[in-house]
């Protein structure tokens, strides 16, 4: 289980996260929706320690970290046990598709070359990209890059996969190939926390949806309930804008 308690984060005078509490069960898929600039991405980055929160506790399984007393060791542990998928993929440009996936296995998990490659090939097959194993990121489409990025994070068998607007930088035609991979992962009961603007996708794939605005979670509940019958006024307003947009 993943438990976030009272996560606060400020950038200078700007308070981005105002005490976030969130529990995620093993195998649960939780989506976070909400307007831009409300701290959704920052929350994921705080879990992955790309940002260090100012206050709060992060618990993953039995490992609990008070961020005010976080050590380098804790940071590495959290990063190694949470997988991050970025909006803009950030595949290693100097590595092939296969090497992007083996990199973490070799360097972080200290696997030998053959073992790592076999595992990476397995993952590429899952991502339906076996034929692209020797391609460099510069020669792959956005959708292909994002699928490899998901594979890179999955390879390390994280306790939770964090996806930060995984389809926002993609051409509309490529969105579906990435969404269908995420759907597949949800069916395999991978624990995931997804920040997304794809409301319909979130409704269909997640167990639970959190609506975030202004650094706080204003409403959360079963996915369909939040989208179809929002309780909070701000949530209603936000969803209305999206629905009328089509």
Other beta carbons within 10 Å of 72: 8
Q: How far is the CB of 11 from another protein (least distance, A)?
A: 15
Q: Which is nearer to another protein, 45 or 208 (CB)?
A: 45
Q: How far is the CB of 139 from another protein (least distance, A)?
A: 5
Give DSSP secondary structure letters for 144-189: HHHHHHHHHHHHT--SEEEEESTTTTS-HHHHHHHHHHHHHHHHTT
> Please, which residues have CB within 8 angstroms of residue 74's CB and are 6 or more apart in sequence?
49, 65
Q: Fill in the DSSP letter of residue 84.
A: E
Cα-to-chain-centroid distance, residue 195: 7
* Residue 15, strand partner residues: 10
Is 107 a binding residue for another protein by CB under 8 A? The answer is yes
Binding piece for another protein, criterion CB under 8 A, among 28-36, 145-153, 177-185, 230-238: 145-153
Q: How far is the CB of 194 from another protein (least distance, A)?
A: 16
Is 124 a binding residue for another protein by CB under 8 A? The answer is no
Q: How far is the CB of 119 from another protein (least distance, A)?
A: 14
- Among 57, 119, 136, 176, interactor with another protein by CB under 8 A: 136
Binding piece for another protein, criterion CB under 8 A, among 99-107, 113-121, 190-198, 233-241: 99-107
Three-state secondary structure call for residue 193: strand
Q: Which is nearer to another protein, 50 or 70 (CB)?
A: 50
Is 112 a binding residue for another protein by CB under 8 A? The answer is no
Considering only residues 35 through 94, tell me which ones interact with another protein, judged by CB under 8 A.
48-50, 76, 79-80, 83-84, 86, 88, 90-94
Other beta carbons within 10 Å of 38: 22
Cα-to-chain-centroid distance, residue 16: 18
Is 139 a binding residue for another protein by CB under 8 A? The answer is yes
- Parallel, antiparallel, or unpaired for β 160-164 and 82-85? parallel
**Residues that bind another protein in the complex, under the rule CB under 8 A:** 48-50, 76, 79-80, 83-84, 86, 88, 90-96, 103-104, 107-108, 135-139, 149, 152-153, 156
């Amino acid at each position: 289980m993943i438990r976030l308690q009272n996560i606060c984060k400020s950038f200078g005078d700007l308070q981005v996260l105002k005490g976030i509490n969130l529990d995620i069960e093993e195998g649960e898929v939780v989506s976070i929706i909400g307007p831009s600039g409300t701290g959704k991405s920052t929350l994921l980055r705080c879990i992955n320690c790309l940002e260090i929160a100012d206050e709060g506790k992060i618990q993953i399984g039995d490992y609990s970290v008070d961020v005010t007393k976080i050590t380098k060791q804790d940071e590495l542990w959290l990063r190694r046990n949470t997988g991050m998928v970025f909006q803009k993929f950030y595949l290693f440009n100097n590595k092939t598709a296969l090497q992007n996936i083996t990199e973490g296995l070799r360097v972080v998990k200290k696997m030998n070359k053959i073992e790592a490659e076999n595992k990476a090939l397995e993952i590429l097959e899952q991502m339906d990209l076996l034929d692209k194993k020797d391609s460099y990121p510069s020669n792959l489409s956005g959708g292909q890059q994002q699928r490899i990025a998901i594979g890179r994070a999955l390879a390390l068998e994280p306790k939770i996969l964090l996806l930060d607007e995984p389809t926002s930088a993609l051409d509309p035609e490529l969105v579906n190939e990435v969404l269908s991979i995420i759907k597949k992962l949800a069916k395999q009961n991978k624990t995931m926390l997804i920040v997304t603007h794809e409301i319909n996708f979130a409704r269909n794939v997640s167990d639970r949806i959190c609506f975030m605005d202004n650094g706080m979670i204003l409403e959360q509940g079963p996915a369909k309930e939040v989208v179809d019958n929002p309780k909070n006024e701000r949530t209603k307003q936000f969803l209305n804008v999206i629905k009328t947009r089509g």
